[in-house]
Amino acid sequence: MKNLKPILISSLVTLLIVSLAFAYYFYKNQKPKKTTVAAAQTASTNPNYQIKDTLLNIERNKEITNSRATIITETVFKVSPAVVGITVTEIQEYRDPFSQDPFFRQFFGDRIYKRKIKGLGSGTIISPDGYILTNDHVAGNAVKTIVTMTDGRHFNAKKIGTDMTSDICLLKIDAENLPYVPFGNSDKILIGEWVIALGNPFGLFEINNKPTVTVGVISSLGLNLGVDNNRYYYDMLQTDAAINSGNSGGPLVNSTGQIIGMNTLIYSKTGGNIGLGFAIPINRIKPIIKDLKTKGKVDRNFWTGLSIQTINEGIVNYFKLSNVQGVIITKIAPNSPAEKAGLKVADIITKVDNIKIQDDVTLINLMHTKETNEIVTFQIIRKNKPLEKSIKLEPKND
């Protein structure tokens, strides 16, 4: 019989080694889990971690707060004090409807009545001594004009001058050291440039002495919108910044806080904003302000000496033109501004001051917006060659 003692000892040693190996294996795999749980518990319960987390949130809140102060908010803060609400009183005449009937008219005559009506609009202080820019259709016919500032003050405004043709009116209040908006240069505006429209829609200054602000971009430049109530809208700025009732006369400013246009029109079938707002460029307004300050009006009593005709198919065929819109000069008066400028019969006018001339109505309406002694650039075609001629709009001889 063999001795089993060595075999038994060997088996026990092997079993012990295997047991220790398994124990070590389970120990290694359980330890990371305990460490992970401990770390999570420490982060949630340790006061030092809570302090660090709170400080981190504070820093994040600071970043969020700082990011709210954008160039838009800074510009609005700077410009808002110079935006005013305008309340006007006009006298409207109306005829007795019965006076239209010959039977009643023979007894009562042509009876005309007057009534007061209220109107609202916006304006911009353009100098520290109280000159205010607005639209003619806002305050041009007013018999009384009240200006409301964002600080709650009210002023009676004096009408310095108004120009229906360009829809520009200049007011003045008796105050000094006022906030004002500096002029920009509308000739350097870029399509897609950010703009801000400020104003007093629906007369909200009476409730809240702060202007309403809308933001958009310049959608288009140099738009010719034609004539409305004897007001000529040419070379207009288009923006998708919302312009609503009562915003007329308010400023359209760029991101540096300069006025580049005056909010004037919206295109809407319902009266609400649909993203088609129009402003008069400030460079068109500047010379008119100068005239209104010095003369109270704009002098448009000039002449050119031109007779014109819209280009038609017969003219196109005769002169062998292609893709040309405009007017042809049919007659030039002797010793006229047109003759002095070197224009000739059969010249074709395609643009005036870079504004396209589609027909004779376009040119006539555009010339209504010009002033006496203004120099106007005519872009013409003569014998199929492009030329430019500058005309000084001389006063008419009585």
What CATH number is associated with residue 236?
Answer: 2.40.10.10
Q: Are residues 133 and 164 in the same domain?
A: yes
Q: Are residues 311 and 216 in the same domain?
A: no
Report the C-alpha gap between 155 and 337 in whole angstroms: 46
Report yes or no on 124 lying in a domain.
Answer: yes
Report the C-alpha gap between 292 and 278 in whole angstroms: 23
Inter-CA distances, 168 with 284, 286, 292, Å: 10, 10, 9
Q: Final residue of a domain: which of 263, 295, 327?
A: 295
316-364 confidence digits (pLDDT tens): 888 888 778 899 999 999 999 999 999 999 999 999 998 899 899 889 9
Q: Are residues 233 and 213 in the same domain?
A: yes
C-alpha angle 201-203-209 in degrees, rounded to nearest 5 = 95
Report yes or no on 234 lying in a domain.
Answer: yes
pLDDT of residue 145: 95
Q: Are residues 261 and 214 in the same domain?
A: yes
Report yes or no on 7 lying in a domain.
Answer: no
Q: Are residues 223 and 312 in the same domain?
A: no
Q: What is the mean pLDDT of the chain?
A: 82
246-265 confidence digits (pLDDT tens): 789 999 999 999 999 999 98
Residue 137 annotated to the active site? yes
- Determine which one of 167, 235, 291, 347 is catalytic: 167
pLDDT of residue 51: 42
Nearest alpha carbon to residue 285 among 186, 352, 215:
186
Q: Are residues 192 and 257 in the same domain?
A: yes
Q: Are residues 112 and 85 in the same domain?
A: yes
CA 160 to chain centre: 25
Q: Are residues 210 and 273 in the same domain?
A: yes
- Determine which one of 122, 166, 219, 248 is catalytic: 248
Amino acid letter for position 132: I
Q: Domain of 89? A: 78-172
DSSP character string of 195-261 = EEEEE-GGGGGGT-SS-EEEEEEEEEEEE--EEETTEEE-SEEEE-S---TT-TT-EEEETTS-EEE
Residue 398 annotated to the active site? no
Report yes or no on 73 lying in a domain.
Answer: no
Report yes or no on 34 lying in a domain.
Answer: no
Q: Are residues 277 and 249 in the same domain?
A: yes
C-alpha angle 180-199-188 in degrees, rounded to nearest 5 = 65
194-219 confidence digits (pLDDT tens): 999 999 877 666 677 678 899 999 99
Q: Are residues 323 and 374 in the same domain?
A: yes
Share of the chain above pLDDT 90, in %: 53
Nearest alpha carbon to residue 289 among 120, 122, 166:
166
Q: Are residues 211 and 160 in the same domain?
A: no
121-145 confidence digits (pLDDT tens): 999 999 999 999 999 999 999 999 9
Q: Which of 85-99, 100-114, 262-276 has the lowest mean pLDDT?
A: 100-114
Let me know how long the chain is.
398
| CA dihedral sign, ordered 64, 66, 70, 76 | positive
Q: Final residue of a domain: which of 271, 295, 319?
A: 295
The pTM of this model reads 0.74
Q: Are residues 348 and 328 in the same domain?
A: yes
Report the C-alpha gap between 82 and 111 in whole angstroms: 44
Report yes or no on 50 lying in a domain.
Answer: no
CATH number of the domain encompassing residue 357: 2.30.42.10
Report yes or no on 379 lying in a domain.
Answer: yes
Residue 11 annotated to the active site? no
pLDDT of residue 292: 96
Q: Final residue of a domain: which of 295, 312, 334?
A: 295
Report yes or no on 264 lying in a domain.
Answer: yes
Structurally, the chain folds into a number of domains equal to 3
Burial 81-94 (b: 16+ CB within 10 A, else e): bbbbbbbbebeeee
Answer yes or no: is pLDDT of 271 > 70.
Answer: no
